[in-house]
Structures are given as structure tokens and as C-alpha cells.
Amino acid sequence: MSVTLTELVVRFGGELVGDGTRVIVQVAPLERATIEEIGFVSQSKYLAQLASTGAGAVILPEEARDATDLPRILTPNPYLYFARVSALLNQPPRPPVGIHPAATVAADAQIGADACIAAGVVIGSGAVIGARSVISANSVVGDQAQVGADCLLHANVTVYHRCEVGDRAILHSGCVIGSDGFGFAPDAGRWEKIPQIGRVLVGNDVEIGACTTIDRGALEDTVIEEGVKLDNLIHVAHNVVIGAHTVIAACTGIAGSAKIGRHCTIGGAAMIFGHIEIADGTRISTNTLITKSLPKAGTYTSALPFSEHEVWQKNAVHMRNLDKLVKRIKQLETRLTELECQSERKS
């Protein structure tokens, strides 16, 4: 696909400075861009790269209007603009419309207009696939499950029975929606399985990474609200609610019945205890353990930065003795107060 700078501005807005007929076929970093590619600068410290770039055009912040003579698009958010141009020029390949002969589709399943059902796909009884959605090879959509319009399910995705996925969702390979929550009742030294009868409800414009698993609710539903972005290898336990437009990085674990607010950002490998609530707009750093509710938005961090092993060993010893040290400090404070009182009396 190719597009002129003028066409980009018509589509995405911004101010064009220079030759609007310049044709762009791809996006690229400034240091290796060619005459048919467009780069971007979002921070002033990178403006110096404009002097040596081979790019045919650039996307710049408005205040950098005079930083180069190259054709340029000025916008308040160059990074976002670049993302939109990249999405336009790099649209995912789309398989042929229709149901592949090697797919298995229940007779009462509803397949929307212009949907693509690839080889090896299984669509269960009563399932609904929305218009223009792509269900890639070997994916499974269970009985009475629903997938909205304009969705993309990559190969080997599983959507269990009765679960629902909204419009324009992207589910990457190995993603599992609606597996059983981890629920077992103790019985004389054994464990008896508790049926998980809720669903998973995924909102519109959600993206879920490869091999991420979202458990169905035990009684009520697990809910992923609109615009949520989940990275690879995340586990979301039963009855969790993740608020709209929250983003969560890889390897995070969220225990059952946790409620995460809207517009939160959670770093990789964070661990969230169950039955707690996290306020809207909260930021949680990577490797952070959250053990109780966070009713006030802010940035929370618990992971210690790395150090040389010998230094870490010494610090670990001190950590083990913190309780003793606190008691000794309190004793010293008490003794110091007594001495100050004695000194005041003598004076």
C-alpha cells in the first residue's frame, strides 16, 4: 500500500508543511529510513537525527516546525500519529471470506456477513460470529459463545462456551477465554471441584496477548471492560473485573474477585491479591506485590532494584533482622528521652 502525505493529513489530521505529493509506502526509524518511508520524533532530544536521516518525510511535534526542511506533518502527539500511519500501511493479511471446507461449524451457529472461518476452526452449537470477523486456523468458539464484529482471533485461540467477546477485539495465539476458575472445596483431605458457572465478558476494542488465560466466573461473570489491553502470559482469575482502558504488561497474575479500576497501568510480573479493589488511574510498577486495596490513585512500587550478589546477601541479612533493629531503636529512643528528662531536671 502507498499513500501521499496529503492523503495522510486528510485521514488523520495534522498540519502539512512541504510537498504533499510525497508518496510513503512504509514507516521506519529515522536512522534507517529511505525516501519512501516516514519517521517520527516525539522528544526534542532526538531532533538532531533529522540532519542525517534518509526519510522522505517525518512526523514532528508542532513546536519543531523549523527543525528540518523535509516534508513534515505537525501534530500534538507524533507517537500516536505514527501508530495510526503504521496501522494504515501494515494491515494484517485477511484470508478469503467464507467458511473453509476443513472447518467444523454447527448447523445452528450464526456466521456474520463477510466473516472468515479458517481451516481447522470449530464453531459450536448456537455460537455467533459477527460480521467481518476473522477466526484463524484451529481456533475454537464454544457452544453459545459470541464473538463480535470486526474481531481477529489468531490461530489456536479458544473461547469457551457462553463467553462473549465484543467488537473489534484482537485475541492472539494460545489465548484462552473462559477456562474454569480455580475453585475446590476441601473434603476430608481431598479436594472436590466447584463448578464454575459464570462467564467471561470481554468488551469492545480489547486486545489480549498470546497465551493469556482468563477464567470464567464461579457464580458471577469475569469482566474485561472496553479498551483493555492485556499483554502475553497474563493470568486473570475468576470473577475479576478489569476497568475500561487499563493496560497490563506480561506475566502479571490477578487473583480471584479482584477489581481493577479504569485507566490503570500495571507493569510486568506484578501480582494482585484477590478480593481487593484498585482505584481508577492507579499505576503499579513491575514486579510489585499488591496485598490490599488501593482506594487512592497513585504510583505503587514494592520490588527492590537488583544489586551485586554480595551486596544483596548483606542487605538480606539486615532485612531478616529488621524487627530486632526496630525494637532496639525504640529502646534507645526511650533511654534517650529518659536522659533528656534527667538533664532538664538537673538544669
Enumerate the active-site residues: 238
Cα torsion 64, 70, 71, 75 to 10°: value is -20
Residue with cell 476441601: 186
Could you tell me how many helices (H) and strands (E) the chain has, helices first?
4, 39
Distance between CA 111 and CA 166 in Å, rounded?
A: 15
> Dihedral of CA 312/316/319/325: which sign?
negative
| Whole-angstrom distance, CA of residue 295 vs CA of residue 63 | 39
What does the alpha-carbon distance between residue 308 and residue 328 come to, in Å, rounded to a whole number? 29
3-state percent breakdown (helix, strand, coil) of the chain, nearest 5 = 20, 30, 55
- Cell numbers placing 304: 527492590
Count Cα neighbours of 252 within 13 Å in the Cβ-side half-sphere.
26
DSSP 294: B
The three cell numbers locating residue 119:
481451516
Type of residue at 213: T
Q: How far apart are CA 155 and CA 121, in angstroms?
A: 9
Residue found under cell 532496639 = 328
Residue 272 and residue 277: Cα distance in Å, rounded? 10
Cell numbers given for 196: 464454575
